[in-house]
Amino acid sequence: MAVKGVRDVATGLVILALLLTGHRRALGWAMAAIAFVPVGDMVIVLNSGGPAGTAYGVHGATALAVAVTAALLLRERPARPACLPADAARPAGAAPSPAPSA
């Protein structure tokens, strides 16, 4: 149990660091990788004769929640700030917008 506790604390610190620094895409990839941890725990419980309800209900549900969170983070597209002028969103090399006539 001590090893599991250290693993869980380290995992939480990685997630917290990515949240605090605003690296949402990296957080999504980290969450996708971390989803394998509860899957492994579920397999261990099932292979050691533990209760299937606990294996699926606790570890399986956790794996699903983490995977869904990862998918949502990876699908997210950054919103364009509303305060940018129209020309700021134009691709490099594109002609500027014509000036409005008075």
Encode pLDDT of 58-89 as tens digits: 999 999 999 999 999 999 877 776 666 655 55
C-alpha distances out from residue 33 to 25, 38, 44, 74, 90, Å: 13, 11, 18, 12, 36
Considering just the CA atoms, what is the radius of gyration of the chain in Å?
A: 22
pLDDT, tens digit (0-9, with 9 covering 90-100), for 6-55: 888 999 999 999 999 999 999 999 999 999 999 999 999 999 999 999 89
- CA 45, 47, 51, 52 torsion-angle sign: positive
Distance CA 55, CA 61 (A): 9
